[in-house]
Chain A
Amino acid sequence: MPPPTSNPSTPNGPAPDGLSRRSFLRNSALFASGLAALAASLAPLRHLNDFPSVEQFLQKYYKELTPEEMAKVLKRIEDEVEREYGLRPHVRDLKPMNGVEFVYALNLTRCIGCRKCVHACVAENNQSRTPEIQYIRVVRLPHGSLDLEKAEHSYNPELVPEKGYFYMPVQCQQCKNPPCVKVCPVHATWQDADGITVIDYNWCIGCRYCAAACPYWARHFNFTGPSIPKERLNLNMAYLGNRPRRQGVMEKCHFCVQRTRAGRYPACLEVCPVGARKFGNILDPESEVSYILRTKRVFIQLKEELGTSPRFFYYFDV
């Protein structure tokens, strides 16, 4: 640390001229080399790939944005995506529908572990290809056990189904009592009226406390800027859904809000070749999920003992 240059208020009186000039020169040299060292140490900032613009930096919290401000933000995001990928997306702010609470039901008897849902999800939700971020993790479990510590994560999906094993896809369980929402220090993630826990990617500070809190390993972090092939970009985007994320923020499965809040099924359901996945409105007694939960003798919520109360149910053909 360089000393300050000569001090005019030094009470011991002025030093002889030559001495003060020498010490002035010495101090200035020290000061300059200190500054140079500081500048050199900050040099990597030249490679900054996501410096926030003023609008990004000052953007208000999602729930505090007026409709006009939201419209501006959506337009800005469309501009940003267009600048980065050369394609103009359609970004909407989709609100939960009245009288709707989404529930997922997955038939473990049928699932063959092909992982088609994983890849459909990646394509639909504009997930980073390198580094790889996937919302769905399909694990292989030995026949008869639901102990996840016996789960095999790196089985070969070409060989499925294998004898003596069953397969279990795990994604965000959209808990009624979500630990991730409770721990977030800045309200960047919350549970909407339709039961979907969403993230404001522009508000998340990247502390990863939610990732530590989640018992389902559902939350995934952008350790660096995502890379998505331009030609694979899904242009149908939602603010709380599949718009491209940025470096340093959390993301996770949101039941494809860009689809489901517009009356469509999630991408993982549509691609499932064996019809293991069911999705719908639990508040509607006529819906498929209501029927399943009413008639199936056994269905389970993963890690039910933690009291998270998932809206994601696993059931069997019994």
Chain B
Amino acid sequence: MRQAVRNYLVFLWRCGRLAFVGDWRYYAWMGMLSVFCLLGLNAYARQFAYGLVVTGMSDEVSWGVYIANFTFLVGVAAAAVMMVIPVYIYKNEELHDLVIFGELLAVAAILMCLAFVTVDLGRPDRFWHLIPVIGQLNFPASMLSWDVIVLNGYLLLNVHICGYLLYCRYRGRTPAKWFYIPFVFIAIVWAVSIHTVTAFLYVGLGGRPFWNSAIVGPRFLASAFTAGPALIILAMQVVRRVTASAPASDAWRSSGQTTWPVANSRPATPADLELLCRHLPELASVSPEVRLAVLAGAIVLGAKTGDVFLRQGEVENTAFFVLHGRVVVKREEGGRLRVTRSLGPGEQFGEISALAGTPRTATAIAEEPALVLRLPAEALRKLMAAPKMNKVIRSRMSERLLITDRALMTLRSIVQVSMLINVFLLANEVFKEFYSGNLHVASSKYLFLGLHGHHALVPWIWTAIAFNLAAMVLLVLPVSRSLKWLNVTCVLCIVGIWIEKGMGLVIPGFIPTPLGEMVEYRPSLNETLVCFGIWAFGLLCYTIFLRMSVPILQGRLSKANEGQPEIGTQAPAGA
């Protein structure tokens, strides 16, 4: 028990250390975010001292950008489920590692949500009144009390799932299904519930006809499932760009002229296994008979710099272990080549496609003159029959950290369908409001056309509509299959939906007031700084989460390499 706690603390300590090391770009990014956080904190300290009077809110428009951002971010958090469903229900392996990134994004988004509601409180010192048992949570009557429960529950669920899966990967263990799969399914339902409950916050108010519409809930879900995956598409490309930052050698350039297979090859001998054993001590646990059996069909390749061991896209069932020298793994992503990792003696590559019989997901090239052991898939399976070998090979299946273009395209189709539904639902809402033309159309008139000479929101909502429509058209056209256009589309989706859901839904609900008074809202500078601060805080959290989880998923941070020089302290690779 004490050992387990100690192991876990070492894990946390090593993860925590990672947050503080990186290359200059990492420091610059984190430094910039920290500055924004502090500016936001400063603005919030001012608000805390003087009250919400320093915001642009008033008795007439009593919620503003804080609640607008909150609403948007609940959607982002809920959208993580769109990654989970294909993986766990439809067994889509392409998205497997993206799930963890998606859930970490959900955690960061929920943290931002909690920050946004906290800064919106007039008496944050009385937050404890919301805690069940010691406070007076008005459950189930108040939708806000539901929100308190579902948001915190969702946070715990996601922290548990990601934390458990990452720790298992770190330990090189296979996660116990009963310990996370039930939570995954709860989280799927829960994700829908957090956004529905947030929609009900508005829908449940009979005195605000603009919100009191059954379509708000479905609209929230549709827009969330558009903006959330769009955000993940962008975030994942950033992740894959920065994680593939190992210094590229000239190997690739010369590889154009190399031949396949590597010319210099010979059958493997027991001495080769001894050599491997020096770098891979777990091999010692394999019995001599098995070792002998493994040697049948094993080949040792002597490669010169630039020789190619395997190519992306080929189907071929052999796995490789580096005996000597270095091998670099490169992957073609979005028409560009990226170095995903660089391997030294004792490390393996090609094992996933060998075991699964799938096409190679990357190309492996000798970075310097190298000696590499090539095994047929059956031989690898024999080795993995030994529990220790199984563990180490599985934990190092670093090729699983793949953000393939196909995964991004799967997300694209989610965004595509959601955006179509979102625009359709918005059109429904607009039709109902304007065609019937009853007295309750005032807020919609104010939003879309301006009312009684007040039209602060008109340019915003039309920008949102233009962005959403442009994004919808781009998503339907094949042009958004190219990453460049997909990125443009994602930005349009995110901005369009942020406006539509934030400024376009929260603010006009208050205008005109229930007594027919027209008072407009404009966020103050202080309020804006607080918002920037919270966004910076969320990005800071997400960066740290990725900084910790990427090396774990790549197998660069594991129990196996405890005690060795920490990554990041010597390798320039960094998130």
Contact = CB atoms under 8 A, between A and B. Distances in A.
Contacts of A96: none
Interface string A1-17: 11110010111100000
A57 B34 contact: no
Contacts of A34: 34
B206 A212 contact: no
A218 to B, nearest CB: 9
A179 B206 contact: yes
Given A41-B38, A179-B207, A209 B123 contact: no
Contacts of A209: 142, 144, 201
Contacts of B512: 149
B41 A307 contact: no
Contact of B30 (A1, A43, A183, A220): A1
B286 interface: no
A44 B514 contact: no
Contacts of B439: 147, 149
Interface in B492-515: 509-510, 512-515
A216 interface: yes
Contacts of B133: none
A151 interface: yes
B114 to A, nearest CB: 13
Nearest to A56: B125
Interface string A214-249: 111100111111000000000000000000000111
Give the one of B120, B124, B207 with max A CB within 10 A: B207
A211 B52 CA distance: 15
Contacts of A150: 516
Interface in B96-144: 117, 120-127, 129-130, 135-138, 141-144
Contact of B130 (A153, A185, A215): A185
B446 to A, nearest CB: 11
Interface in A166-217: 170, 179, 182-188, 203-209, 211-217
A20 to B, nearest CB: 13
A159 interface: no
Contacts of A165: none
Interface in B397-411: none
B342 interface: no
Nearest to A59: B126
Interface in A20-76: 34, 37-38, 40-49, 52, 57, 61
A95 to B, nearest CB: 20
B515 A217 contact: yes
B489 interface: no
B514 A214 contact: yes
A99 interface: no
Contact of B126 (A43, A133, A203): A203
Interface size band for A: 35 or more
B283 to A, nearest CB: 24
Nearest to B442: A149
Contacts of A147: 439, 516
A3 B510 CA distance: 46
Contacts of B395: none
Contacts of B135: 186
A223 B515 CA distance: 20
A306 B515 contact: no
Contacts of B515: 137, 139, 148, 151, 153, 170, 216-217
A303 interface: yes
B563 interface: yes
A3 B442 CA distance: 55
A204 B123 contact: yes
Interface string A135-158: 001010000000111110100000
B545 to A, nearest CB: 14
Given A150-B516, A153-B515, A185-B130, A38 B50 contact: no
A150 B389 CA distance: 79
A9 B17 CA distance: 12
A273 interface: no
Nearest to A216: B514
Given A57-B125, A149-B442, A215 B514 contact: yes
Nearest to B60: A217
A86 interface: no
Contacts of B117: 207
Contact of B514 (A148, A223, A247): A148
B263 interface: no
A131 interface: yes
A188 B129 contact: yes
B53 A7 contact: no
A248 B509 contact: no
A44 to B, nearest CB: 4
Given A205-B122, A216-B515, A248 B59 contact: no
B565 interface: yes
Contacts of A250: 122
A205 B130 contact: yes
Given A182-B142, A212-B509, A214-B514, A224 B125 contact: no
B57 A223 contact: yes
Contacts of B52: 206, 221, 223-224, 248
Nearest to B452: A149
Contacts of B127: 205
Contacts of A213: 205, 207-208
Interface in B10-47: 13, 17, 19-21, 30, 34, 38-39, 41-42, 45-46
B142 A208 contact: no
Contacts of A40: 38, 42
Contact of A139 (B38, B516, B562): B516
A38 B533 CA distance: 13
A222 B122 contact: yes
Nearest to B58: A223
Nearest to B34: A1
A12 B565 contact: yes
A212 B121 contact: no
Nearest to B50: A224
B21 to A, nearest CB: 7
Given A48-B48, A224-B51, A247-B51, A212 B63 contact: yes
A12 to B, nearest CB: 5
A186 B129 contact: yes
B408 to A, nearest CB: 31
B207 A215 contact: yes
B372 to A, nearest CB: 28
Contacts of A137: 515
Nearest to A303: B207
Contact of A182 (B60, B120, B141): B141
Interface in B556-571: 562-566, 569
Contacts of A42: 41-42, 45
A207 B563 contact: no
B530 to A, nearest CB: 12
B136 A183 contact: no
Nearest to B131: A186
7 contacts: A37-B38, A44-B49, A186-B137, A203-B129, A221-B52, A221-B62, A223-B59
Given A1-B19, A47-B46, A249-B122, 14 more contacts: A1-B30, A42-B42, A61-B136, A133-B59, A148-B516, A153-B516, A183-B143, A184-B138, A185-B137, A212-B510, A214-B514, A217-B517, A222-B122, A223-B51
Closest 4 CB pairs of A and B: A206-B122, A215-B207, A248-B122, A224-B51
Interface of A: 1-4, 7, 9-12, 34, 37-38, 40-49, 52, 57, 61, 131, 133, 137, 139, 147-151, 153, 170, 179, 182-188, 203-209, 211-217, 220-225, 247-250, 303, 306-308
